[in-house]
């Protein structure tokens, strides 16, 4: 029974010696145990320099995992560092922080079986920020200019005719234009060259058609055919 136990103990001791860190190798004192480091920050890695390894080169690796016993190599953060420098400034990668625990492993470049672990520490991941960009496209809307309604005044030249039997005469001129109506009152007068102006109004409309104001001037004693001539002149305004 004892004979079977001795070989097993020898094998276990050999495996433990292989995976254990080298006691007299460089002891890493920074970072401290469970130090919290923000991703993207600068971390000063510091170690003691043992005399027997002076002048040697070392490589530094980052390990990490869910717990201290399940850490695995993640990345090589430095290579060929002079061990006598006794420190190294490492810019923590901004993508790190997903693992629960992290650590450093320093290996002798000439003999990687000689190595040392650092204290366990934490890397605080950067908060995830979502930037939403709202793109808005706006069309310039130019309001149509408000129509300006302007009145056009046309004066009919006086037409001189002899009065009929010496009696006063009267006439009425009424016409309509698109979106505008002008009405002229009946003219009565016993004297010559009396000028009266028509009443003009435009219905509430946004159309740009402007009303036309016709001012009739001249003697009011006119023969009936004068009305026909004036009607022709007024009709000519719309041609």
Q: What is the pLDDT of residue 131?
A: 57
pLDDT band at 21 (very low <50, low <70, confident <90, very high): confident
Asked if pLDDT for residue 84 goes beyond 50, the answer is yes
pLDDT tens, 188-199? 444 444 444 444
Q: Is the pLDDT of residue 30 over 50?
A: yes
Residue ranges matching CATH 2.60.40.2840 in the chain: 22-124
Q: Structure pTM?
A: 0.48
Domain 22-124 falls under CATH 3.30.565.10: no
Task: Find out whether 71 and 104 touch, Cβ atoms under 8 Å.
Answer: no
User: What's the confidence (pLDDT) of residue 85?
Assistant: 96
Whether 200 and 213 have beta carbons less than 8 Å apart is answered as yes
Structure tokens at 66: 């869910």
Q: Which residue has the higher pLDDT, 51 or 139?
A: 51
With beta carbons less than 8 A apart as the criterion, state whether 56 and 13 touch.
no
């Amino acid at each position: 029974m004892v004979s079977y136990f001795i070989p097993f103990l020898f094998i276990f001791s050999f495996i433990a010696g292989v995976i254990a860190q080298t006691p007299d190798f460089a002891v890493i004192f920074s970072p401290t145990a469970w130090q919290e480091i923000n991703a993207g920050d600068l971390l000063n890695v510091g170690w003691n320099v043992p005399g027997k390894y002076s002048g040697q080169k070392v490589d530094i690796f980052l390990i990490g995992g869910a717990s201290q016993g399940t850490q695995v190599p993640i990345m090589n953060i430095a290579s060929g560092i002079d061990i006598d420098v006794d420190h190294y400034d490492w810019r923590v990668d901004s993508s790190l922080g997903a693992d629960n625990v992290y650590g450093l492993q320093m290996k002798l470049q000439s003999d990687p079986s000689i190595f040392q672990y650092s204290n366990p520490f934490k890397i605080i991941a950067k908060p995830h920020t979502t930037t939403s960009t709202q793109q808005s496209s706006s069309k310039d809307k130019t309001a149509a200019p408000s129509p300006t309604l302007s009145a056009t005044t046309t004066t009919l030249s006086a037409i001189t005719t002899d009065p009929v039997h010496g009696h006063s005469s009267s006439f009425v001129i009424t016409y309509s234009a698109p979106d505008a109506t002008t009405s002229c009152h009946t003219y009565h007068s016993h004297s010559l060259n009396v000028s009266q102006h028509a009443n003009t109004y435009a219905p509430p409309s946004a159309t740009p058609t402007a009303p036309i104001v016709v001012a009739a001037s001249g003697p009011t004693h006119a023969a009936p055919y004068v009305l026909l001539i004036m009607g022709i002149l007024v009709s000519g305004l719309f041609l």
